[in-house]
Amino acid sequence: MSEGAAKKEEKPRKFHATRGTRDLLPPETALWNRVEQTAHEVFATFGFGEIRLPVFEPSDLFVRSIGQETDVVQKEMYIFEDARGEIWLARENVRNSIFRPAERSSVEVLKGFLNDFQVRIQAALRSGEVEHDPGQSQYYKYFSDGVEYFNKLVVKDPSVPLQFLDKAQEEIERMGPFLKHAIVGVRIGSFVVLRPEATASVCRAYIEHGMQQLPQPVKLYYMGPMFRRERPQKGRYRQFYQIGAEVLGGSDAPAIDAEVIEMVMAFFDRLELQGVQLEINSIGCRDCRPKYVELLRAALLKVKDKLGPDSQRRIETNPLRVLDSKLESEQGIIATLPHIAVHLCEECAAHYAAVKHQLEIRGVIYRENWRLVRGLDYYMRTTFEITAQGLGSQNAVCGGGRYDGLVELLGGPPTKGIGFAIGEDRLILSLQESGKAPAQQGRDVYIAWMGERAHATAIRAAKDLRKAGFSVELPPVEQKFGKALGQADKLGAKYALILGDNEVSEGLWTLKTLADGSQAKYTEPDLLAHLRKSL
Ligand code: ATP
Ligand code: MG
């Protein structure tokens, strides 16, 4: 290898953000902050308080709430064993060891790795760090009996029945691969999931903190990253951000549904989000929905061979989701399917009518969409979705609905619930597309200084100006005034404060307005007053 090639080899690996994740950078982050600040303000005016939730939760929380048959649970969850690194590595050592039963040393290596794993996992089980459940315990016993037997074979322990000892080598050949395989099934930590959404967590927290004792309903909002292992594209990421709110407890009065929707619309209005369209639907309750789903299933079975494979599968698993299909070829058939509106029970029909009336009183403009169903199982009655402009096919910026019964499903008391989640990434995209994004963040004042005395004065001036709330750029090393002014321009500064030894001894500071190049001299207090007036 030539020296050049060797150098090239040594170049450290370049890292990239993981697929579907991205860095948010200035100046864009200023827009994110504005959006989030607006959410804090608007939601507070509706009496909502912020809840901050863990980013990962036990996997069961999501499987139980979101539903086994949903895309989120089937394909999109980031799930992993929450195991201590050393146990993980010990298990990997067993899995990765190359086993050559004819070589004594290879047998010893596997035996060593197995025993190392056993010591660590036993300690973790004893301390309760790794949970025991009956299935797991049974499996673990099966595995550790195997390890014990393997150990005895290797040392030809006399307690092994003679007929096995006689063919110990054969038994070792059989047990090695078996144990390497079986170890995969030994659980070394509980399963956790990077949250794909936050409603389940809010309900968990409501129960955990006995919030049913508080005045009802409890109104909470949250913001933060969510994780779904989807195919990344515009407006669809694997780490994305949601801003959401939930109303838990109290009644299911239609005015609550309407006020929640009014709040999202007020938020979007304050942000001047363009092309906002609200669609609503009612998907019934535990009584009427199953009957409708059966009707739908029957209707779908009649046209099964005209549907694509996804929809065909959903006839069995989740017929409502067929209504969600975007497949061009299915649209004609879907149009002929029965509408849920005419199959709602009396209570649901009355609730839906009242929600619409309440929206009208509030001046909220909506469109009814009988095909609007939500992707998660827990929704009932009111569902809604909001779209905005500039987003292509991923144009939903908010989804929400009622989920009475979810808290109960998670082990809490019977509790009404309704909420929504806004896709913040898409909200930001839409604001950018319609020119609502801030430009590069400039500086108010760039301080161009030369000379030791001037530097000390510049430091003091920067401190005072910053205290007064101005953004100030203070170059750390001396530069010629020409270069400094060029730099000030590049940074988009509004003013350059010029401090040389002359200015310092005269006590008169030069302020240059960069937009028109005009200059004026000020005493220190006058300068501050002037900036206060003009910025
Ligand atoms: P979609 O139909 O776009 O997949 P969804 O029904 O899965 O949306 P919800 O679970 O209702 O979405 O989440 C609410 C909002 O979160 C969506 O309307 C969307 O704005 C946003 N969202 C969902 N998944 C993603 C993602 N992978 N990337 C960015 N935003 C997302
Ligand atoms: Mg989705």
When mean pLDDT is compared across 30-39, 61-70, 443-452, the lowest value belongs to 61-70
- Rounded to two decimals, what is the model's pTM? 0.88
d(CA 197, CA 203) in angstroms, rounded, equals 12
Residue matched to tokens 């199982």: 377
Greater confidence, 494 or 318? Answer: 494
What is the per-residue pLDDT for 6?
A: 53
What is the per-residue pLDDT for 459?
A: 97
**What are phi and psi for residue 455, nearest 5 degrees?**
-60, -45
Is the CB of 379 within 6 Å of ligand 1?
no
d(CA 118, CA 147) in angstroms, rounded, equals 8
Instruction: Assess whether the previous peptide bond of 217 is cis (omega < 30° from 0).
Output: yes
What is the per-residue pLDDT for 136?
A: 85
What is the per-residue pLDDT for 467?
A: 95
Is the CB of 424 within 6 Å of ligand 1?
no
> 80 by DSSP, 3-state: which?
strand
In the chain, what is the straight-line distance between the N-terminal and C-terminal CA atoms, in Å? 63
Q: Which of 426, 428, 430, 431 for mutating ligand 1's site (highest number of atoms within 8 Å of CB)?
A: 426
Give the closest residue to 43 by CA, choosing from 260, 299, 301.
Answer: 260
Residue matched to tokens 């001046």: 363
What is the per-residue pLDDT for 8?
A: 59
Ligand minimally distant from the alpha carbon of residue 326: 1
> What average pLDDT does range 216-243 have in this prediction?
97
**Residues 147-190: tens digit of each pLDDT:** 999 999 999 998 988 888 888 899 999 999 999 999 999 999 98
**Residues 442-455: tens digit of each pLDDT:** 899 999 999 999 99
d(CA 422, CA 399) in angstroms, rounded, equals 7
> What average pLDDT does range 29-34 have in this prediction?
95
Q: Which of 240, 264, 279, 393 for mutating ligand 1's site (highest number of atoms within 8 Å of CB)?
A: 240
Task: Give the tokens for residue 441.
Answer: 């963040």
d(CA 528, CA 533) in angstroms, rounded, equals 9
State the burial class of residue 354 (Cβ atoms within 10 Å of its Cβ: 0-12, 13-18, 19+): middle
Give the closest residue to 181 by CA, choosing from 136, 243, 139.
Answer: 139
CA atoms within 13 A on the CB side of 531: 30
d(CA 115, CA 109) in angstroms, rounded, equals 10
| Nearest alpha carbon, ligand 1 atom 26 | 236
| Nearest alpha carbon, ligand 1 atom 20 | 423
Please answer whether residues 252 and 416 qualify as being in contact, where contact means their C-beta atoms are separated by less than 8 angstroms.
yes
Give the closest residue to 506 by CA, choosing from 457, 448, 452.
Answer: 457
Is the CB of 324 within 6 Å of ligand 1?
no
Residue 365 CA, ligand 1 centroid: distance in Å: 22
Task: Give the tokens for residue 323.
Answer: 């209504």
Asked if residue 7 has pLDDT above 60, the reply is no
Give kind and range of the element (H or E) at residue 244: strand 239-248
Please answer whether residues 188 and 81 qualify as being in contact, where contact means their C-beta atoms are separated by less than 8 angstroms.
yes
What is the per-residue pLDDT for 61?
A: 95
pLDDT band at 9; cut points 50, 70, 90: low
Top-ranked range on mean pLDDT: pick from 122-131, 171-180, 370-379: 171-180
Asked if residue 437 has pLDDT above 80, the reply is no
What is the per-residue pLDDT for 238?
A: 98
Is the CB of 485 within 6 Å of ligand 1?
no
